[in-house]
Chains A and B, each alone.
Chain A
Amino acid sequence: MSITPVTDRYWWKVPMDREEVIWVAIAFIWCLFMFFMMPYWHVFGKQNLAHAAVRTSAGEYMKKAEEGVAKWKVREETEQKIPVIAPPPDSDVYLVARLWSWWPILELEAGKTYKVHLMSMDWLHGFSLQPENINIMVHPGYDHAVTMTPTRKGEFAIICNEYCGVNHHTMVSRIYVK
Chain B
Amino acid sequence: MATNRNFRTCPSSGLLFHEPAEKLMRWNAVVGVVCLLLGGLLAIGVVLTRWQAVHWLAPDRFYQVLTAHGINMLVFWIIFFEMAVLYFASSTLLRSRLATPNLAWAGFWLMVLGALMNNLAVLRGDSSVMFTAYAPMGAHPIFYLGLILFAVGALIGCFVFLGTLVVAKAERTYEGSIPLVTFGALTACIIAVFTIASGAIILIPTFLWSVGLVPQIDSLMYKTIFWAFGHSSQQVNVAAHVAVWYAIAAIVFGAKPMSEKVSRTAFFLYILFLQLASAHHLLADPGLTSYWKIFNTSYAMYLAVLASMVHGLTVPGAIEVAQRKKGYTNGLFEWLRKAPWGNPVFSGMFISLLGFGFLGGISGVIMGVEQINLIIHNTIYVPGHFHATVVIGTTLAFMALTYFLIPVLFRRELAFPGIARWQPYVFGLGMSGVAVFLMGAGTLGVPRRHWDISFAGTAFAYEFPGAAWLMMALGSISGLVAIVGGGMYLLVTVYSVFLGRRIETPGFAHVRARDGVAPSQAPVAAAITSHGQSAGFSAPGTFVLAMVFLVAFALYYFVNWKYLSTVWPLS
Partners in one complex: yes
Q: Which residues of chain B (527-558) have a CB below 8 Å from chain A?
A: 527-528, 533-534, 536-540, 542-543, 546, 550, 553-554, 557
The reply to whether B534 and A2 form a contact with Cβ atoms under 8 Å apart is: no
Known A-B contacts A5-B179, A23-B313, A130-B445; A14 and B570 likewise in contact (beta carbons under 8 Å): no
Provide the residues of chain A in CB contact with B465, threshold 8 Å: 131
The reply to whether B571 and A147 form a contact with Cβ atoms under 8 Å apart is: yes
Provide the residues of chain B in CB contact with A163, threshold 8 Å: 63, 130, 448-450
The reply to whether A123 and B136 form a contact with Cβ atoms under 8 Å apart is: yes
Tell me the complex Cα distance, A58–B531, Å.
Answer: 67
Could you tell me the dominant secondary structure of chain A's interface residues? Answer: mixed
Please pick, from A2, A27, A39, A159, the residue contacting B462 in the complex, using a CB distance under 8 A: A159
Tell me the complex Cα distance, A136–B446, Å.
Answer: 14
Please pick, from A2, A53, A78, A148, the residue contacting B286 in the complex, using a CB distance under 8 A: A53
Whether A146 sits at the interface, judged by CB under 8 Å, is: yes
Known A-B contacts A2-B246, A31-B302, A163-B449; A130 and B536 likewise in contact (beta carbons under 8 Å): no
B542 to chain A, nearest CB (A): 7
The reply to whether A161 and B258 form a contact with Cβ atoms under 8 Å apart is: no
Known A-B contacts A38-B369, A157-B462, A161-B379; A7 and B374 likewise in contact (beta carbons under 8 Å): no
Whether B416 sits at the interface, judged by CB under 8 Å, is: no
Provide the residues of chain B in CB contact with A150, threshold 8 Å: 568
Cβ-closest chain B residue relative to A3: B250
Whether B318 sits at the interface, judged by CB under 8 Å, is: yes
Whether B444 sits at the interface, judged by CB under 8 Å, is: yes
Provide the residues of chain A in CB contact with B571, threshold 8 Å: 46, 48-50, 146-147
Provide the residues of chain A in CB contact with B448, threshold 8 Å: 161, 163
The reply to whether B527 and A4 form a contact with Cβ atoms under 8 Å apart is: yes
Please pick, from B63, B181, B298, B524, the residue contacting A34 in the complex, using a CB distance under 8 A: B298
Cβ-closest chain A residue relative to B222: A124
Provide the residues of chain A in CB contact with B298, threshold 8 Å: 31, 34-35, 38
Q: Which residues of chain A (43-101) have a CB below 8 Å from chain B?
A: 45-53, 77-80
Tell me the complex Cα distance, A49–B567, Å.
Answer: 13
The reply to whether A17 and B294 form a contact with Cβ atoms under 8 Å apart is: no
Tell me the complex Cα distance, A157–B540, Å.
Answer: 51
The reply to whether A148 and B569 form a contact with Cβ atoms under 8 Å apart is: yes
Which of B140-148, B170-178, B344-352, B511-519 has 4 or more CB atoms under 8 Å from chain A? Answer: B170-178
B218 to chain A, nearest CB (A): 7
Whether B247 sits at the interface, judged by CB under 8 Å, is: yes
B62 to chain A, nearest CB (A): 9
Please pick, from B174, B246, B310, B318, the residue contacting A27 in the complex, using a CB distance under 8 A: B310
Interface size on B, residues (CB 8 A): 112
Assign chain A's interface to a size class.
35 or more
The reply to whether A11 and B258 form a contact with Cβ atoms under 8 Å apart is: no
The reply to whether B261 and A12 form a contact with Cβ atoms under 8 Å apart is: yes
The reply to whether A19 and B570 form a contact with Cβ atoms under 8 Å apart is: no
The reply to whether A174 and B460 form a contact with Cβ atoms under 8 Å apart is: yes
Tell me the complex Cα distance, A133–B137, Å.
Answer: 25
Provide the residues of chain A in CB contact with B175, threshold 8 Å: 5, 7
The reply to whether A165 and B569 form a contact with Cβ atoms under 8 Å apart is: no
Could you tell me the dominant secondary structure of chain B's interface residues? Answer: loop
Cβ-closest chain A residue relative to B315: A2
Cβ-closest chain B residue relative to A164: B137
Cβ-closest chain A residue relative to B308: A27
Known A-B contacts A2-B250, A47-B564, A168-B450; A19 and B376 likewise in contact (beta carbons under 8 Å): no
The reply to whether B134 and A53 form a contact with Cβ atoms under 8 Å apart is: no
The reply to whether A135 and B374 form a contact with Cβ atoms under 8 Å apart is: yes
A61 to chain B, nearest CB (A): 13
Tell me the complex Cα distance, A7–B309, Å.
Answer: 27
C-beta contact mask, A106-132 vs B, less than 8 Å → 1, else 0? 000000000000100011101011111
Q: Which residues of chain A (129-152) have a CB below 8 Å from chain B?
A: 129-137, 139-144, 146-151
The reply to whether A2 and B306 form a contact with Cβ atoms under 8 Å apart is: no
Cβ-closest chain B residue relative to A110: B568
The reply to whether A19 and B542 form a contact with Cβ atoms under 8 Å apart is: yes
A63 to chain B, nearest CB (A): 19
Known A-B contacts A27-B309, A128-B379, A140-B219; A146 and B250 likewise in contact (beta carbons under 8 Å): no
B527 to chain A, nearest CB (A): 5
Which of B3-11, B201-209, B451-459, B492-500 has 4 or more CB atoms under 8 Å from chain A? Answer: B451-459
Tell me the complex Cα distance, A164–B134, Å.
Answer: 9
C-beta contact mask, B288-322 vs A, less than 8 Å → 1, else 0? 11100010011001110110011001100110000
B contact residues vs A (CB 8 Å cutoff): 59-60, 63, 93-94, 128, 130, 134, 136-137, 174-181, 218-220, 223, 246-247, 249-251, 254-262, 282, 284-290, 294, 297-298, 301-303, 305-306, 309-310, 313-314, 317-318, 365, 369-371, 374-379, 443-445, 447-453, 455, 457-462, 464-465, 524, 527-528, 533-534, 536-540, 542-543, 546, 550, 553-554, 557, 561, 564-565, 567-571
Known: A77-B459, A166-B63, A168-B450. 9 other contacts (CB 8 A): A18-B534, A34-B298, A38-B369, A45-B565, A46-B565, A47-B569, A126-B378, A136-B284, A159-B462
Q: Which 5 A-B pairs have the closest CB atoms?
A: A157-B462, A53-B286, A144-B286, A31-B302, A161-B447
